[in-house]
Amino acid sequence: MKKYNKVTPEGTKDLLFEECSARKEVEQLLSGVFESRGFHGVVTPGFEFYDVFDPAVSGIAPEIMYKMTDHKGRLIVMRPDSTMPIARLMATRLQNLPKPVRLYYTQTVCRNHPSLTGRSDEVMQTGVELLGAAGRRADLETVVTAVECLSKCLPDFRLELGHAGFFRAIASELPISADLREDIRLSIEAKNYAALNTILDGLEPSLPVAAMRRLPRLFGGEDVFEQAAPLCTNPQSEEMLSYLHDLYKALTELGLGDKLIVDLGLVQRNDYYTGIVFSAYTEACGEAILRGGRYDNLLAGFDMPMPAIGFSINVDAIAEGLLSAGKLHKKTSIDVLVHAEPGCEVRAMLYAAELVEQGLKCENSLCDDRPAALAYARQQGIARVDFVGRQIEKAEMK
């Protein structure tokens, strides 16, 4: 039987040195943004009961969840999403808090991607959930928080803005099954025009069919709203388009116009989105580094209906982008190697502690003698070696 004790499972990897430092720095930077805006940190379990992620509510396909059973035989999964557990948390331990409730998290999510080579199955995410707040102010607050996060990390980004309800309002007028509606949504999301046209060619020509055909092409600046107006098939789609336009203009007034792209074909995979949806991209990463939107119906599934909106950020993707661009602080090297002469080990440790209090980074030598300590310091790029015996001798490395 082949052993796998020297490899990691597909979709996972070890993080080394600068990668660990980069992830930590991004986490701290974004946590600072969240806390400055009044969000409070929470952490949910790494695995939850399968029922928390009921596919009928979450839109998360069962086959992408990592599953196992507990000691009672109950089905549990490794956390594939952070919003659903936070909804559970809100409906239980936090149900009596005054609304709105501002929460943020930094934790891993695990999803199985067997057909997507190179895609990580384990991703560190951070994000916010604004629970119990509806309307324009909450939407603006959330999008602006997302923009502030990205501006502090990778300022060369674009933010795509859409409305999940716009697709549903038009799709509701098509005489099709739920499965075929999902096929249309997936084709629009992937901007797969050939697959979309094949489906729509089989339907009776109508305004909703024409609107669906145009939806993935409604992508660009403010002129998209003018192009989309004739495609509105009912008062609901008109109202949603008007609301999105109003939000776009507000964000433009905040100086974000050059970052914004309207995408009415932005229909997220997670079925719980009900209102605005948004995604962010950079040239350094081929997939979205941020996804979010409004999900006003989700908490009803936990018997605590309330409006909500949030977003998640792929910390690993941002850290990798910053490392590639050389924009993260380099690892701070050791200032002093402290080497104890035989019998002076305790004194050397106390001496090293004094240097640390002075603000220096110190490493205690584990070498057997002075020549070995000097050789180690040269190898590691340590600028100074202090030898602690009856007296303290300092050797500057050249």
Binding positions for L-histidine: 81-83, 111, 125, 129, 272-273
Tell which residue, 147, 130, 143, has the closest CA to residue 83.
130
Tell which residue, 90, 159, 82, has the closest CA to residue 127.
82
- Other residues' Cβ atoms within 10 Å of the Cβ of residue 282: 20
Is the bond into 100 cis (omega within 30 degrees of 0)?
A: yes
Structure tokens at 381: 């790029």
Contact 153, 317 (CB under 8 A): no
- Which of helix, strand or coil describes residue 222? coil
Rounded distance between C-alpha atoms, residue 181 and residue 255, angstroms? 37
| Burial 315-349, CB ≥16 within 10 A → b, else e | bbbbbbbbbeeeebeeeeebbbbbbbbeebeebbe
Rounded distance between C-alpha atoms, residue 192 and residue 34, angstroms? 36
Binding residues: 81-83, 111, 125, 129, 272-273
